[in-house]
């Protein structure tokens, strides 16, 4: 497959599976044995684990949206710079709902083979997310002054 075809497959992850909450798209674009090199704590392996993470995100942030900011592809790898946002309305990793809107940026690398994502790497600003949720103080704030 061409680099452009691979980019289109990965773009569906953000624009359809995540932002339109269409879990059936995961089955269409991901290998059942996908390897996630940056799993969430206690994430199950393979496609079911990947889908579980997004179910967790959507239960905590029901309006969760992810936007592709930029993509670069070479060979079987696609690099995606993305931003995601949502309002914290459900428990997330032990954090009670805060009602805070969070915006997270990150960069993912996906390897696509025969039209399916088979490997996934991710680096996202989770520290910034925790600061926006008020769990970790912003730089220059004392822990007592962290937003709630």
Q: What global pTM score does this model have?
A: 0.89
| pLDDT for the residue 80 | 98
Q: What is the mean pLDDT of each run of 10 residues along the chain (148 residues)?
A: 96 95 96 96 94 94 97 98 98 96 98 98 96 91 60
Please tell me the predicted confidence (pLDDT) of residue 86: 98
Which pLDDT belongs to residue 143?
Answer: 61
Report yes or no: 49 and 43 within 8 Å, Cβ to Cβ.
yes
**Which domains does the chain possess?**
3-138 (3.10.450.50)
pLDDT at residue 140, as a whole number:
81
84-96 burial, b at 16+ Cβ within 10 Å, e below that, comes to: bbbbbbeebeeee
- Residue with structure tokens 């996906």? 110
Q: Residue 134 in contact with residue 98, Cβ under 8 Å?
A: yes
Asked if 26 contacts 116 with a C-beta cutoff of 8 angstroms, the reply is no
The whole-number pLDDT of residue 138 equals 84
Please give the pLDDT value at position 109. 98
One DSSP character per residue, 68-125 reads EEEEEEETTEEEEEEEEEEE--S-BTTBPP---EEEEEEEEEEEEETTEEEEEEEEE-
List the strands of the sheet with 77-87, edge to edge. 30-36, 116-124, 101-113, 77-87, 65-74
Task: Identify any residues that bridge with 116 across adjacent strands, giving them in sequence order.
Answer: 113
């Amino acid at each position: 497959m061409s680099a452009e075809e691979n980019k289109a497959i990965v773009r569906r992850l953000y624009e359809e599976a995540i932002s339109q909450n269409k879990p059936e798209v995961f089955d269409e674009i991901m290998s059942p044995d996908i390897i996630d090199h940056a799993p969430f704590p206690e994430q199950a392996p393979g496609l079911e684990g990947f889908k579980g993470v997004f179910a967790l995100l959507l239960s905590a942030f029901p309006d969760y949206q992810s936007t592709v900011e930029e993509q670069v592809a070479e060979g079987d790898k696609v690099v995606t710079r993305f931003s995601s946002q949502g309002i914290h309305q459900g428990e997330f990793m032990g954090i009670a709902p805060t009602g805070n809107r969070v915006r997270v940026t990150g960069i993912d690398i996906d390897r696509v083979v025969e039209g399916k994502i088979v490997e996934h790497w991710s680096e996202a600003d989770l520290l910034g997310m925790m600061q926006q949720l008020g769990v970790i103080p912003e730089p220059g704030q004392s822990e007592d002054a962290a937003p709630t």
